[in-house]
Amino acid sequence: MRKILYLMMSVVVLLQLASCKTKSETGAMSVSSKDEKVRFENMLANTLSYDTYQSKANITFKSGSSKSMSVSSTFKLIKDKELQISVTPLLGIEVYRLVLTQDSIYLFDRMGSRYVAESYSKYKSYLPVDLGFETIQALFMNEMFIPGQNEVTKDDFKQFNWKTQVDNKMVGVYKKDKVFNLSFMASAENRLEKTISSSKGDKHKMMWVYSVFEDLNHASFPRVSNVEVLSGNKKYDVSISHSRISVNSDVAIDKRVPKSYKKIDLLELIITLLK
Protein backbone atom coordinates (compact mmCIF):
# COMPACT_ATOMS: atom_id res chain seq x y z
CA MET A 1 0.00 0.00 0.00
CA ARG A 2 2.92 2.36 0.59
CA LYS A 3 3.62 2.13 -3.13
CA ILE A 4 0.21 3.62 -3.86
CA LEU A 5 0.75 6.41 -1.38
CA TYR A 6 4.07 7.43 -2.89
CA LEU A 7 2.55 7.44 -6.35
CA MET A 8 -0.20 9.76 -5.22
CA MET A 9 2.52 11.99 -3.80
CA SER A 10 4.17 12.09 -7.20
CA VAL A 11 0.99 13.59 -8.66
CA VAL A 12 1.04 16.28 -5.99
CA VAL A 13 4.69 17.09 -6.76
CA LEU A 14 3.91 17.44 -10.47
CA LEU A 15 1.01 19.75 -9.72
CA GLN A 16 3.25 21.95 -7.64
CA LEU A 17 5.84 22.32 -10.39
CA ALA A 18 3.73 22.08 -13.53
CA SER A 19 3.50 25.81 -14.02
CA CYS A 20 7.24 26.48 -13.66
CA LYS A 21 8.53 28.05 -16.83
CA THR A 22 11.52 26.47 -18.47
CA LYS A 23 15.21 26.86 -19.21
CA SER A 24 16.75 25.53 -22.41
CA GLU A 25 19.55 23.00 -22.18
CA THR A 26 21.00 24.07 -25.52
CA GLY A 27 22.34 27.57 -24.82
CA ALA A 28 21.52 30.76 -26.73
CA MET A 29 18.79 30.63 -29.34
CA SER A 30 18.99 32.15 -32.82
CA VAL A 31 16.52 34.51 -34.47
CA SER A 32 13.56 32.54 -35.85
CA SER A 33 13.43 31.87 -39.58
CA LYS A 34 10.70 31.12 -42.12
CA ASP A 35 11.66 27.45 -42.07
CA GLU A 36 11.23 27.30 -38.32
CA LYS A 37 7.86 29.01 -38.60
CA VAL A 38 6.67 26.28 -40.96
CA ARG A 39 7.98 23.62 -38.58
CA PHE A 40 6.26 25.33 -35.64
CA GLU A 41 2.95 25.26 -37.51
CA ASN A 42 3.49 21.59 -38.41
CA MET A 43 4.14 20.80 -34.75
CA LEU A 44 0.86 22.44 -33.78
CA ALA A 45 -0.89 20.47 -36.54
CA ASN A 46 0.53 17.26 -35.04
CA THR A 47 -1.25 17.96 -31.74
CA LEU A 48 -4.16 15.66 -30.96
CA SER A 49 -7.60 17.17 -31.57
CA TYR A 50 -10.10 15.95 -28.97
CA ASP A 51 -13.05 16.88 -26.79
CA THR A 52 -12.61 13.99 -24.36
CA TYR A 53 -9.79 11.55 -23.65
CA GLN A 54 -9.55 8.43 -21.51
CA SER A 55 -7.06 5.60 -21.11
CA LYS A 56 -5.66 2.96 -18.85
CA ALA A 57 -2.19 3.82 -17.59
CA ASN A 58 0.66 2.25 -15.71
CA ILE A 59 2.49 4.76 -13.51
CA THR A 60 6.01 4.02 -12.29
CA PHE A 61 7.51 6.22 -9.60
CA LYS A 62 11.02 6.54 -8.22
CA SER A 63 12.22 8.95 -5.53
CA GLY A 64 15.97 9.47 -5.24
CA SER A 65 17.82 6.20 -4.71
CA SER A 66 14.71 4.25 -3.68
CA LYS A 67 13.40 1.32 -5.69
CA SER A 68 10.88 2.08 -8.41
CA MET A 69 7.22 1.32 -7.73
CA SER A 70 4.35 0.83 -10.17
CA VAL A 71 0.57 1.01 -10.01
CA SER A 72 -2.29 0.85 -12.48
CA SER A 73 -4.63 3.78 -12.99
CA THR A 74 -7.23 5.30 -15.28
CA PHE A 75 -7.21 8.77 -16.86
CA LYS A 76 -10.27 10.77 -17.87
CA LEU A 77 -10.20 14.26 -19.35
CA ILE A 78 -12.91 16.61 -20.54
CA LYS A 79 -10.99 19.25 -22.47
CA ASP A 80 -10.63 22.62 -20.72
CA LYS A 81 -12.91 21.46 -17.89
CA GLU A 82 -11.88 18.52 -15.71
CA LEU A 83 -9.18 15.87 -15.34
CA GLN A 84 -9.57 12.70 -13.27
CA ILE A 85 -6.87 10.23 -12.26
CA SER A 86 -8.01 7.08 -10.43
CA VAL A 87 -5.51 4.76 -8.76
CA THR A 88 -6.82 1.21 -9.13
CA PRO A 89 -4.16 -1.27 -7.94
CA LEU A 90 -6.37 -4.02 -6.53
CA LEU A 91 -8.41 -5.88 -9.14
CA GLY A 92 -9.54 -2.57 -10.64
CA ILE A 93 -10.90 -1.30 -7.32
CA GLU A 94 -10.38 2.44 -6.92
CA VAL A 95 -8.26 3.37 -3.89
CA TYR A 96 -7.62 7.06 -4.63
CA ARG A 97 -9.20 9.56 -6.99
CA LEU A 98 -7.75 12.93 -7.97
CA VAL A 99 -10.00 15.42 -9.80
CA LEU A 100 -8.77 18.76 -11.10
CA THR A 101 -11.13 21.46 -12.33
CA GLN A 102 -10.45 24.94 -13.65
CA ASP A 103 -9.96 26.27 -10.13
CA SER A 104 -10.00 23.43 -7.59
CA ILE A 105 -8.39 20.19 -6.39
CA TYR A 106 -10.42 17.21 -5.18
CA LEU A 107 -8.70 14.16 -3.69
CA PHE A 108 -10.60 11.13 -2.37
CA ASP A 109 -9.03 8.55 -0.04
CA ARG A 110 -11.37 5.59 -0.39
CA MET A 111 -9.70 3.46 2.27
CA GLY A 112 -9.66 6.25 4.84
CA SER A 113 -13.08 7.67 3.94
CA ARG A 114 -11.52 11.14 3.65
CA TYR A 115 -11.51 13.83 1.01
CA VAL A 116 -9.89 17.12 0.06
CA ALA A 117 -11.72 19.91 -1.77
CA GLU A 118 -9.64 23.09 -2.07
CA SER A 119 -8.94 25.97 -4.41
CA TYR A 120 -5.60 26.31 -6.20
CA SER A 121 -5.39 29.84 -4.81
CA LYS A 122 -4.82 28.44 -1.32
CA TYR A 123 -1.39 27.21 -2.42
CA LYS A 124 -0.16 30.24 -4.38
CA SER A 125 2.38 31.03 -1.69
CA TYR A 126 3.94 27.56 -2.12
CA LEU A 127 4.27 27.82 -5.91
CA PRO A 128 6.79 29.71 -8.04
CA VAL A 129 3.94 30.91 -10.32
CA ASP A 130 0.16 30.63 -10.47
CA LEU A 131 -1.00 27.09 -11.15
CA GLY A 132 -3.28 26.74 -14.16
CA PHE A 133 -5.48 23.88 -15.34
CA GLU A 134 -4.51 24.59 -18.96
CA THR A 135 -0.84 24.01 -18.15
CA ILE A 136 -1.51 20.67 -16.46
CA GLN A 137 -3.73 19.60 -19.35
CA ALA A 138 -1.08 20.57 -21.90
CA LEU A 139 1.62 18.57 -20.12
CA PHE A 140 -0.48 15.40 -20.02
CA MET A 141 -1.66 15.82 -23.61
CA ASN A 142 1.67 16.58 -25.33
CA GLU A 143 0.86 20.22 -26.05
CA MET A 144 2.80 23.46 -25.95
CA PHE A 145 1.56 26.08 -23.51
CA ILE A 146 2.06 29.75 -22.69
CA PRO A 147 1.48 30.85 -19.08
CA GLY A 148 -1.84 32.63 -18.68
CA GLN A 149 -3.05 31.62 -22.16
CA ASN A 150 -5.68 29.01 -23.01
CA GLU A 151 -3.88 27.61 -26.05
CA VAL A 152 -0.97 28.15 -28.42
CA THR A 153 -1.79 29.20 -31.99
CA LYS A 154 0.18 29.98 -35.15
CA ASP A 155 0.22 33.64 -34.16
CA ASP A 156 2.33 32.79 -31.10
CA PHE A 157 5.40 31.89 -33.13
CA LYS A 158 7.08 35.23 -32.39
CA GLN A 159 6.74 34.71 -28.64
CA PHE A 160 9.65 32.24 -28.88
CA ASN A 161 13.24 32.25 -30.05
CA TRP A 162 13.64 29.22 -32.31
CA LYS A 163 16.75 27.36 -33.40
CA THR A 164 17.20 24.22 -35.48
CA GLN A 165 19.96 21.97 -34.17
CA VAL A 166 22.47 19.82 -36.04
CA ASP A 167 20.29 16.72 -35.53
CA ASN A 168 17.33 18.65 -37.07
CA LYS A 169 15.54 18.94 -33.78
CA MET A 170 14.15 22.40 -33.04
CA VAL A 171 14.15 24.24 -29.71
CA GLY A 172 11.96 27.20 -28.85
CA VAL A 173 12.54 29.39 -25.77
CA TYR A 174 9.71 31.56 -24.47
CA LYS A 175 10.92 35.17 -24.58
CA LYS A 176 8.58 37.12 -22.35
CA ASP A 177 9.31 35.86 -18.86
CA LYS A 178 12.32 37.28 -17.02
CA VAL A 179 11.84 35.36 -13.75
CA PHE A 180 11.34 31.76 -14.90
CA ASN A 181 12.34 29.76 -17.97
CA LEU A 182 10.23 27.85 -20.48
CA SER A 183 11.32 25.89 -23.55
CA PHE A 184 10.05 23.21 -25.91
CA MET A 185 11.85 20.79 -28.22
CA ALA A 186 10.41 19.41 -31.45
CA SER A 187 11.70 16.20 -33.01
CA ALA A 188 12.96 15.98 -36.59
CA GLU A 189 9.40 14.83 -37.44
CA ASN A 190 7.97 18.06 -35.94
CA ARG A 191 6.41 16.41 -32.90
CA LEU A 192 6.63 17.94 -29.44
CA GLU A 193 9.27 15.75 -27.84
CA LYS A 194 10.28 17.58 -24.67
CA THR A 195 9.10 20.32 -22.31
CA ILE A 196 11.62 21.75 -19.84
CA SER A 197 10.61 24.04 -17.01
CA SER A 198 12.65 25.64 -14.22
CA SER A 199 12.88 28.53 -11.84
CA LYS A 200 15.96 30.74 -12.02
CA GLY A 201 18.92 28.92 -10.52
CA ASP A 202 17.24 25.57 -11.22
CA LYS A 203 15.98 25.22 -7.62
CA HIS A 204 12.78 23.80 -9.10
CA LYS A 205 13.01 22.03 -12.43
CA MET A 206 10.88 19.65 -14.45
CA MET A 207 11.57 17.87 -17.73
CA TRP A 208 8.69 16.07 -19.48
CA VAL A 209 9.84 13.77 -22.31
CA TYR A 210 7.40 12.14 -24.75
CA SER A 211 8.06 8.92 -26.70
CA VAL A 212 6.46 5.93 -28.49
CA PHE A 213 4.39 8.12 -30.80
CA GLU A 214 1.47 6.53 -32.65
CA ASP A 215 -1.17 7.81 -35.05
CA LEU A 216 -4.30 8.80 -33.16
CA ASN A 217 -7.21 10.74 -34.64
CA HIS A 218 -5.01 12.02 -37.52
CA ALA A 219 -2.22 13.19 -35.21
CA SER A 220 0.88 11.84 -33.51
CA PHE A 221 0.35 11.06 -29.84
CA PRO A 222 2.85 9.63 -27.32
CA ARG A 223 1.90 6.56 -25.35
CA VAL A 224 4.77 7.13 -22.93
CA SER A 225 5.69 10.20 -20.88
CA ASN A 226 8.80 10.28 -18.68
CA VAL A 227 8.91 13.07 -16.12
CA GLU A 228 11.91 14.18 -14.07
CA VAL A 229 11.26 16.60 -11.21
CA LEU A 230 13.95 18.34 -9.17
CA SER A 231 12.88 20.29 -6.10
CA GLY A 232 15.75 21.49 -3.95
CA ASN A 233 17.86 18.41 -3.21
CA LYS A 234 15.01 15.99 -3.98
CA LYS A 235 14.61 14.15 -7.29
CA TYR A 236 11.51 12.34 -8.54
CA ASP A 237 11.12 10.24 -11.68
CA VAL A 238 7.69 9.31 -13.01
CA SER A 239 6.87 7.25 -16.08
CA ILE A 240 3.32 7.10 -17.47
CA SER A 241 2.53 4.44 -20.05
CA HIS A 242 -0.92 4.66 -21.67
CA SER A 243 -2.98 1.86 -23.20
CA ARG A 244 -6.58 1.35 -24.35
CA ILE A 245 -6.82 4.99 -25.41
CA SER A 246 -10.23 6.36 -26.39
CA VAL A 247 -10.84 9.81 -27.88
CA ASN A 248 -14.16 11.68 -28.14
CA SER A 249 -16.15 8.99 -26.35
CA ASP A 250 -18.56 9.61 -23.49
CA VAL A 251 -16.62 10.53 -20.34
CA ALA A 252 -18.13 11.03 -16.89
CA ILE A 253 -16.09 12.60 -14.11
CA ASP A 254 -17.46 12.22 -10.60
CA LYS A 255 -16.41 14.47 -7.72
CA ARG A 256 -19.43 13.84 -5.50
CA VAL A 257 -18.54 13.40 -1.83
CA PRO A 258 -20.04 10.44 0.06
CA LYS A 259 -21.87 11.57 3.20
CA SER A 260 -19.70 9.42 5.45
CA TYR A 261 -16.43 11.03 4.27
CA LYS A 262 -14.50 13.44 6.48
CA LYS A 263 -13.10 16.62 4.93
CA ILE A 264 -9.44 17.33 5.67
CA ASP A 265 -6.71 19.69 4.48
CA LEU A 266 -4.49 18.58 1.57
CA LEU A 267 -1.27 19.07 3.53
CA GLU A 268 -2.79 17.18 6.45
CA LEU A 269 -3.61 14.25 4.18
CA ILE A 270 -0.11 14.21 2.70
CA ILE A 271 1.50 14.15 6.14
CA THR A 272 -0.85 11.34 7.24
CA LEU A 273 -0.08 9.23 4.16
CA LEU A 274 3.69 9.55 4.64
CA LYS A 275 3.66 8.29 8.22
DSSP 92: T
What was the pLDDT predicted at 33?
Answer: 72
**Residues paired with 119 in a beta bridge:** 104
Predicted TM-score of the model (pTM) = 0.84
- Averaged confidence pLDDT in the chain: 85
Tens of pLDDT, residue by residue over 244-268, are: 999 999 999 999 999 999 999 987 8
Distance CA 112, CA 122 (A): 24
The predicted-structure confidence for 112-155, as pLDDT tens digits, reads as follows 999 999 987 777 655 555 567 888 899 999 999 998 888 999 99
Would you state the pLDDT for residue 150?
Answer: 87
Span 143-154, pLDDT tens digits:
999 988 889 999
Where do the domains of the chain lie, and which CATH numbers do they carry? 2-274 (2.50.20.10)
Interatomic CA distance for residues 121 and 266, integer angstroms: 13
Q: Is there a contact between 192 and 142 (Cβ–Cβ < 8 Å)?
A: yes
pLDDT of residue 5: 45
User: Which tops the pLDDT comparison, 82 or 135?
Assistant: 82
